[in-house]
Amino acid sequence: MASSDWEIPPELQPDPADHSFDLDLALRSVVGVKALVPGDAFSANTLGTERTGSGVVIRADGLIATVGYLVTEAETIWLTTADGRVIPGHALAFDFETGFGLIQALGKLDLPALRMETGEAPAAGDHAVLASVGGRKHALRATVAARQEFAGYWEYLVEDAIFTAPAHPSWGGAGLIGAGPGGEARLLGVGSLVMQQQDAKGRRVDLNLVVPASLLPPILDDLLAYGRLNRPARPWLGLYAAEDDDHVVVSSMANRGPAAKAGLREGDRILSVGGAPVSDLPSLWRALWACGSAGCRVPVHLKRESKRLDITVVSADRRTFLKAPKLH
């Protein structure tokens, strides 16, 4: 991680003179994350058993915010500082709704903690720094390209996601850092994905999807106390879907998940859920979550080849399919 031989081209690295805060001090808050997951974990086939990325120290006692898929079902976590120190960590929580994960360092980090943005910043056009562990050579001068809704194929929706350009090559858990109202360094978001879009001239543009840091403070107490939100879980179908023109198509399903058990098939076109019409991923997930909490019965109206079918899926809490974190 910190010893990696790759680096951001110098012309794309942030310039300390462009920032009101101590850039190098802020970059020390970013740590490397290596998570080891057992081979029989539910997420092992899709996310792998060895996951690497970054996280950001958000509290002086070594609490770290990262992207949840890095730490889901992790049994062993190692944290690496920019100066090469290695410290064990523990996966405290992961939240399916926002996509955040929390790690507690199990040794003394001696690193600065970044305050989290709690308002609406950043806005489209703002400049910031997207950084993985390793200091300035692993930090990218980024621009916020857009703030808009994002729906993922894995039953995920963020209302006001942050999109940044150019794309960082090591985005998972990377910290988006900018200036707060008083000029101090502040965590604006955590990197989640890389995406390809086309500009007005049809050229491919790579962007990073960043989960807004402002989503974390309202749920932080719940995550620390319970490892999840202290409210009924959303219904989960184990459904992976894709948009096809004006339709939503089942692309695959989680093994042993509710959708597979109910008889949905790859290629099915979903027309409505719970009586609400479905035309894209956001409408699909909103219709699903409006059916109730985990365990509710979800009526799905679909088209399979030339036939129209009604199938009722008994939803589940996806957490029950996962291994709980273990503290060694």
Same structural domain, 96 and 121: no
Same structural domain, 137 and 67: no
Residue 197: pLDDT band (50, 70, 90) is confident
Alpha carbons 10 and 5: distance in angstroms, whole number: 14
| pLDDT, position 5 | 81
The predicted-structure confidence for 6-24, as pLDDT tens digits, reads as follows: 999 999 999 999 999 999 9
Residue 1: pLDDT band (50, 70, 90) is very low
pLDDT at 4 over 90: no
- In a domain, residue 298? The reply is yes
- In a domain, residue 316? The reply is yes
- Quote the DSSP letter at residue 108: -
Residue 141: pLDDT band (50, 70, 90) is very high
Same structural domain, 193 and 258: no
Alpha carbons 301 and 272: distance in angstroms, whole number: 5
- In a domain, residue 2? The reply is no
pLDDT at 137 over 60: yes
Say if CB 241 and CB 154 are below 8 A apart.
Answer: no
Q: How far is CA 157 from CA 97, 232, 277, 314, in A?
A: 7, 18, 17, 21
- CA dihedral of 160, 161, 165, 169, whole degrees rounded to 10: 170
Classified as helix, coil or strand, 149 is strand
Q: Which residue, of 113, 129, 149, is where some domain finishes?
A: 113
Same structural domain, 195 and 256: no
Same structural domain, 104 and 119: no
Exposure string for 168-178, b = 16+ CB within 10 A, e = fewer: bebbbbbbbbb
Same structural domain, 57 and 138: no
Q: Which residue, of 89, 113, 137, is where some domain finishes?
A: 113
- In a domain, residue 187? The reply is yes
Residue 300 is encoded by which pair of tokens? 């799905």
The predicted-structure confidence for 56-84, as pLDDT tens digits, reads as follows: 999 999 999 999 999 999 999 999 999 99
Say if CB 130 and CB 30 are below 8 A apart.
Answer: no
| pLDDT, position 328 | 52
Classified as helix, coil or strand, 201 is coil
204 beta partners: 198
Alpha carbons 209 and 212: distance in angstroms, whole number: 9
Alpha carbons 97 and 100: distance in angstroms, whole number: 8
Q: What is the mean pLDDT of residues 297-309?
A: 97
What one-letter code names the amino acid at 93? A
pLDDT at 128 over 70: yes
Q: Check: pTM over 0.75? Answer yes or no.
A: yes
CATH code of 167's domain: 2.40.10.10
| pLDDT, position 324 | 80
Same structural domain, 122 and 193: yes
Same structural domain, 20 and 106: yes
C-alpha Rg value of the chain to the nearest Å: 20
Exposure string for 291-325, b = 16+ CB within 10 A, e = fewer: beebebebebbbeeeeeeeebebebbbbbebebeb
pLDDT at 116 over 90: yes
Total domains in the fold of the chain: 3
Residue 149: pLDDT band (50, 70, 90) is very high
Q: Which residue, of 113, 132, 159, is where some domain finishes?
A: 113
Say if CB 116 and CB 213 are below 8 A apart.
Answer: yes
- Contacts of 127 by beta carbon, 8 Å cutoff, 6+ apart: 18, 141, 142, 143, 144, 178
- In a domain, residue 41? The reply is yes
> Half-sphere exposure (CA, 13 Å, Cβ side) for 104?
13
Number of helical (H) and strand (E) elements in the chain, helices listed first: 6, 19
Domain that residue 120 falls in = 115-221
Same structural domain, 105 and 119: no
- In a domain, residue 76? The reply is yes
Same structural domain, 125 and 194: yes
pLDDT at 36 over 70: yes
The whole-chain average pLDDT of the chain stands at: 95
Same structural domain, 186 and 92: no
- In a domain, residue 5? The reply is no
- In a domain, residue 326? The reply is no
Same structural domain, 101 and 119: no
**Phi–psi pair at 266, nearest 5 degrees:** -60, 135
Calculate what percentage of the chain has a pLDDT beyond 90: 93
The predicted-structure confidence for 221-271, as pLDDT tens digits, reads as follows: 999 999 999 999 999 999 999 999 889 999 999 999 999 999 999 999 999
| pLDDT, position 2 | 40
| pLDDT, position 89 | 98
| pLDDT, position 204 | 85
